[in-house]
């Protein structure tokens, strides 16, 4: 009977660690880590980008990391060249001039990730502009973050 109880306890502990590790797979990208896939698919031409974040709501003075990922016309994840991120930009619902001194977005270009912070509550839209080749149109996307 002792061994059966130890076995059940061991199964419970393993189950808890498994559940925790599955839940932790949605962690945001850590600065310095490349958010690109390991290999490119055959069709590596970028047709759209997606700006993502781990949370769409943050508190005043809290920083939030945003990540841009690229996809081809077959909706397959492709490798982006960070130097082709020409601009990270923010806008706000309402008066831009009322917020411009309270918002920090860094870096503003040349990176697949950026960090957003606002010292004032509001609804913000953070976008990325990607240009694969000089003369091409920009490929853009944005996400919404509410600062409370």
Residue 25 has pLDDT above 50, yes or no: no
How many CA atoms does the CB half-sphere of 18 hold within 13 Å? Answer: 6
Query: Taking the model in full, what pTM does it have?
Result: 0.76
Domains of the chain and any CATH numbers: 32-147 (2.60.40.1080)
Work out the percent of the chain whose per-residue pLDDT is above 70.
80
Work out the percent of the chain whose per-residue pLDDT is above 90.
72
Per residue in 26-39, pLDDT (tens digit) is 445 555 567 899 99
Distance, CA of 85 to CA of 81 (rounded, Å): 7
Query: Coil, helix or strand for 44?
Result: coil
What local confidence, expressed as pLDDT, does residue 27 receive? 44
How confident is the prediction for the chain on average, in pLDDT?
Answer: 87
- 19-28, 71-80, 106-115: lowest mean pLDDT where? 19-28
Residue 4 has pLDDT above 90, yes or no: no
Per residue in 71-90, pLDDT (tens digit) is 999 999 999 999 999 999 99
What local confidence, expressed as pLDDT, does residue 24 receive? 45
Residues 71 and 49 sit within 8 Å (Cβ to Cβ): yes
| Nearest-10 Cα torsion for 20, 25, 28, 34 | 140
Structure token pair of residue 94: 């309402």
What b/e sequence results for 40-67 when a residue is b if at least 16 CB atoms lie within 10 Å of its CB, and e otherwise? eeeeeebeebebebeeeebeeeeebbbb
What local confidence, expressed as pLDDT, does residue 1 receive? 56
């Amino acid at each position: 009977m002792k061994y059966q109880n130890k076995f059940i306890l061991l199964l419970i502990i393993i189950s808890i660690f498994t559940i925790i590790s599955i839940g932790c797979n949605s962690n945001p990208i850590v600065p310095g880590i490349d958010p690109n896939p390991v290999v490119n698919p055959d069709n590596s031409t970028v047709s759209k980008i997606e700006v993502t974040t781990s949370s769409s709501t943050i508190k005043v003075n809290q920083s939030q990391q945003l990540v841009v990922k690229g996809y081809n016309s077959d909706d397959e994840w492709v490798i982006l060249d960070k130097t082709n991120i020409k601009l990270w930009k923010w806008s706000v619902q309402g008066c831009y001039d009322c917020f411009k001194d309270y918002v920090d977005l860094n870096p503003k270009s040349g990176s697949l990730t950026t960090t957003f912070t606002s010292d004032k509550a509001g609804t913000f839209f953070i976008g990325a502009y990607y240009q694969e080749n000089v003369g091409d149109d920009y490929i853009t996307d944005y996400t919404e973050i509410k600062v409370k």
